[in-house]
Amino acid sequence: MNQAMIFGIIDNGVLVVGMIVGVEFGEYLLPERWRSKTAGAMLGGFLGNAVSDGIAGLAISLGFTVGVVIGCLLPGVLLPLAIRRSR
């Protein structure tokens, strides 16, 4: 297996784990009006993606990693709109 394949497995693996955690624990993480399995999966996927991209960024530099994580989290302001539309 080459490095790109390993990266893809880890990247998507962390994303999937985040989604599963979001489905299972979303009811504890979200305000009551937004609680649903779909919203939990969206939150878990969103955070899982930020974590997996941050881990990937560590291969480049800490400054790059911080920028990537901030960039991944900034669209989170739209997450409530997406959750509301999914219900």
Residue spans of alpha helices (H) in 1-87: 3-29, 37-57, 62-73, 79-86
| Domain tally, the chain | 1
The predicted-structure confidence for 11-68, as pLDDT tens digits, reads as follows 888 888 988 888 888 778 778 877 788 888 888 888 888 988 888 888 888 998 899 8
- Which distant-in-sequence residues (6+ apart) come within 8 Å of 57 by Cβ? 64, 65, 67, 68, 69
Range of the domain at 72: 3-86
The predicted-structure confidence for 69-82, as pLDDT tens digits, reads as follows: 898 888 878 777 77
